[in-house]
Amino acid sequence: MAVLLYPNCGIIFHGSSGQRMASLNFDVIVCGGGMTGLAVAAQLAHLDLTVAVLEDRRPQPFLPEQQYDLRVSALSPQTILLLEQLNAWHRIQTMRSCPYRRMRVWEMQRFGDVTFEAGDIGRSELGFIVENRIVQTALWESVEALPQVKILCPAACRQFDRNAGHMVATLEDGRRLTAKLIVGADGADSAVRNAFDISISRREYEQSCLVASVATRSAQQDMTWQRFTPLGPQAFLPLLGSRGSLVWYQKRDRVRELAQLDNSELAELIMAEFPKELGDIEIAAKGSFPIQKQHAKTYVQQGVALIGDAAHTINPLAGQGVNLGFQDSTRLTEVISGAMIRGKDWSSRAVLLDYERQRRWANGLMMRAMDGFYYGFSNNNVPLRWARNGLLAGSNTPFIKESVLRYASGLVSSPTDLLYRKKC
Ligand SMILES: Cc1cc2nc3c(=O)[nH]c(=O)nc-3n(C[C@H](O)[C@H](O)[C@H](O)COP(=O)(O)OP(=O)(O)OC[C@H]3O[C@@H](n4cnc5c(N)ncnc54)[C@H](O)[C@@H]3O)c2cc1C
């Protein structure tokens, strides 16, 4: 019988009459090898726990001449610090990333207009725009180098069970894995969340967003901007070279129509509808995404924890989605580490609830803030128009600017921390 050996992992074999099904025993099974799943696997490995990562699809390897990925993220300084600690940031820098130093938010044809600058919080940049596939690839390479982690790919999970104090994951090909804890990092349609009957509150917005990867004639590589119009926001995220990613919120039917246009027709329309600052563009690729908000009613059960989009999806308005997911993985690891030091059962619901208490509140707050922006700005109501323009104009005061930036950068995790810091 061939024996599969993974460092520090117990191996049990089941089956009879020539049918061999390895049951692999780990401390933690992470379902989903996306950005947050790989991050938490690396963080838990640093606690010397053995981890299996189950992922359906390996990210496409990076090639410099490769088309830009349509899915890009604005990574906050806190996320970059984490990626440095996980040995992934230098890998990203050898691939593609674009720093941005300014962030402008304004309303079409109104007086509210604010530009945040990295210097407002004493930094040289506010963050970096990086393609999701590149973040995933860099983390994948870092995790592959860790002896405590085994990535199983392709590995689609078929079933999850709780069995005599153990968590069991069964794969499509019949392999069974056991662990003390299953982490669901398997995205918005989480199979882990469904298997353990964790319900969600969910809201589909009336709009979708059209995303386009573009080449721009004018260089504007140090600024992200977002303009609010009564029909919905328009945004630009800079990418390396004279490139960028455009996001255009519109009614769902309209986005469907726009996605059907050929690239040059769409480029003409965008140049007519977007702010003149954009200048001439050529479209390299386009796609559309539904926007939705969903929040798991609980993040944990005995032996189960949800992180990232499996726990919450947020309006992509301020590009906070994956940054919140990385904060989840860090907090979960800290809670587990604390329980290990105190000799407690780190996979127990009582311990994991501490993670939920800290993260569910903070994520909910960010969701409500995004909703406030989204609904507050996407209409023509006159009192609201005055209020929001006053808000933008007021944001030009140094204290508010600094506070907004610290919160958006992940340098503090809640507005109350800001007040506390100020008193200190
Ligand atoms: C248009 C748009 C723009 C956005 N912009 C930003 C931004 O600027 N900044 C930002 O921070 N966020 C942004 N987001 C959000 C961000 O993309 C998500 O929050 C992030 O991808 C979530 O990461 P995740 O690892 O939790 O989940 P995912 O990225 O969904 O990864 C889940 C992984 O699990 C795997 N998987 C799923 N089911 C199984 C299974 N049963 N078995 C095995 N593997 C499985 C999948 O293959 C996938 O690799 C944006 C989202 C959208 C839609």
pLDDT at 188 over 50: yes
CA 186 to ligand 1 centroid distance, Å: 8
The answer to whether the beta carbons of residues 37 and 30 sit under 8 Å apart is yes
Residue bearing the bigger pLDDT, 405 or 125: 125
- The residue nearest atom 3 of ligand 1, judged by CA position, is 316
CA 18 to ligand 1 centroid distance, Å: 40
Cβ of residue 185 lying under 6 Å from some atom of ligand 1: yes
138-157 per-position pLDDT tens digit: 999 999 999 999 999 999 88
| C-alpha dist (Å) from residue 128 to 36, 81, 122, 173, 234 | 17, 12, 16, 39, 19
Measured from the Cβ of residue 343, the count of other Cβ atoms closer than 10 Å reads 7
* pLDDT the model gives residue 291: 87
Report the percentage of the chain scoring pLDDT > 90. 64
- The residue nearest atom 31 of ligand 1, judged by CA position, is 34
pLDDT at 183 over 60: yes
Report the percentage of the chain scoring pLDDT > 70. 82
* pLDDT the model gives residue 121: 83
Ligand 1 pocket: which of 68, 126, 237, 309 to mutate (most atoms within 8 A of CB) = 309
Out of 52-61, 324-333, 375-384, least confident range: 375-384
Span between the terminal Cα atoms of the chain, in Å: 64
**Beta-ladder partners of 293:** 203
Cβ of residue 77 lying under 6 Å from some atom of ligand 1: no
Ligand 1 pocket: which of 31, 68, 71 to mutate (most atoms within 8 A of CB) = 71
Residue bearing the bigger pLDDT, 248 or 4: 248
CA 253 to ligand 1 centroid distance, Å: 24
| C-alpha dist (Å) from residue 48 to 6, 60, 166, 407 | 14, 29, 19, 32
Cβ of residue 132 lying under 6 Å from some atom of ligand 1: yes
CA 5 to ligand 1 centroid distance, Å: 31
The average pLDDT across 23-27 equals 87
pLDDT at 162 over 50: yes
Among the listed residues 228, 237, 260, 254, the one whose alpha carbon sits nearest the alpha carbon of residue 373: 228
Cβ of residue 36 lying under 6 Å from some atom of ligand 1: yes
Phi, psi of 21 (to 5 degrees): -130, 110
Cβ of residue 289 lying under 6 Å from some atom of ligand 1: yes
Angle at Cα 29 formed by Cα 92 and Cα 197, nearest 5°?
115
- The residue nearest atom 48 of ligand 1, judged by CA position, is 34
Maximum mean pLDDT: which of 13-27, 294-308, 386-400:
294-308
260-301 per-position pLDDT tens digit: 999 999 999 999 999 888 899 999 999 999 888 999 999 999
Domains of the chain listed by start with CATH number: 1-98+131-204+293-424 (3.50.50.60), 99-130+205-292 (3.30.9.10)
The answer to whether the beta carbons of residues 160 and 182 sit under 8 Å apart is yes
* pLDDT the model gives residue 317: 75
pTM of the model: 0.87
* pLDDT the model gives residue 77: 92
Q: Which atom of ligand 1 is nearest to the CA of 247?
A: 1
pLDDT at 347 over 50: yes
- 371: confidence class by pLDDT, cuts 50, 70, 90: confident
Q: Which atom of ligand 1 is nearest to the CA of 35?
A: 25
pLDDT at 92 over 50: yes
**357 is written with which tokens?**
């208490």
CA 353 to ligand 1 centroid distance, Å: 24
CA 312 to ligand 1 centroid distance, Å: 11
CA 34 to ligand 1 centroid distance, Å: 6
The average pLDDT across 166-190 equals 96
Pairing of the two strands 243-251 and 232-239: antiparallel
CA 187 to ligand 1 centroid distance, Å: 5
**24 is written with which tokens?**
């692999």
Output the average pLDDT for the chain: 86
pLDDT at 350 over 60: yes
For residue 359, the Cα-to-chain-centroid distance in whole angstroms is 14
For residue 218, the Cα-to-chain-centroid distance in whole angstroms is 29
Scan for tokens 């406030």, then name that residue. Answer: 372
Cβ of residue 191 lying under 6 Å from some atom of ligand 1: yes
Residue bearing the bigger pLDDT, 258 or 110: 258
Cβ of residue 59 lying under 6 Å from some atom of ligand 1: no
CA 4 to ligand 1 centroid distance, Å: 31
Q: Which atom of ligand 1 is nearest to the CA of 211?
A: 1
* pLDDT the model gives residue 292: 87
Residue bearing the bigger pLDDT, 423 or 90: 90
Residue bearing the bigger pLDDT, 316 or 10: 316
* 3-class secondary structure per residue, the chain: CCCCCCCCCEEEEECCCCCCEEEEECCEEEECCCHHHHHHHHHHHCCCCCEEEECCCCCCCCCCCCCCCCCEEEECHHHHHHHHHCCCHHHHHHCCCEEECEEEEEECCCCCEEEEEHHHHCCCCCEEEEEHHHHHHHHHHHHHCCCCEEEECCCCEEEEEEECCEEEEEECCCCEEEECEEEECCCCCCHHHHHCCCCEEEEEEEEEEEEEEEEECCCCCCEEEEEEECCEEEEEEEECCCEEEEEEEEEHHHHHHHHHCCHHHHHHHHHHHCCHHHCCEEEEEEEEEEEEEEEECCCEECCEEECHHHCEECCHHHCCHHHHHHHHHHHHHHHHHHHHHCCCCCCCHHHHHHHHHHHHHHHHHHHHHHHHHHHHHCCCCHHHHHHHHHHHHHCCCHHHHHHHHHHHCCCCCCHHHHHHHHHC
Residue bearing the bigger pLDDT, 323 or 415: 323
Cβ of residue 30 lying under 6 Å from some atom of ligand 1: no
